[in-house]
Amino acid sequence: MQETTLKEIHEAELYVLKKVDAICRKLGLQYWVMFGTLIGAVREHGFIPWDDDLDIVMKRDDYNKLIQYFILTGGGVGRT
């Protein structure tokens, strides 16, 4: 099995972040990025080269609404 590269991970993370953003906008939910994701966006205009995760946060009420949306729609932000 071939190891996933950081470039591939960053591409997948960007895809997920765009999907989460679109869903949150559609539902009127607030979220923000923190930690390495925020540093990468500001300093690198993308991702910190060694960062391999997304740091997305939201208020509990909005989180619960997002989870409910995933339950009702079959969940996920998979590639279509």
- pLDDT tier at 76 (50, 70, 90 boundaries)? low
CA atoms of 38 and 61, how far apart (whole Å): 22
* Mean pLDDT value across residues 8-22: 94
Neighbours of 47 (CB within 10 A): 22
The residue ranges of every structural domain in the chain are 6-73
pLDDT at position 1 is 85
Global confidence as pTM = 0.82
Q: How confident is the model at residue 80 (pLDDT cuts 50, 70, 90)?
A: very low
Q: Are 47 and 11 in contact (CB under 8 A)?
A: no
Helix (H) / strand (E) containing 33: strand 32-33
Segment holding 56, helix H or strand E? strand 56-57
Q: What is the pLDDT of residue 35?
A: 96
Tokens representing 4 are 């996933």
- Please report where in the chains the tokens 């997304």 appear, as a residue: 54
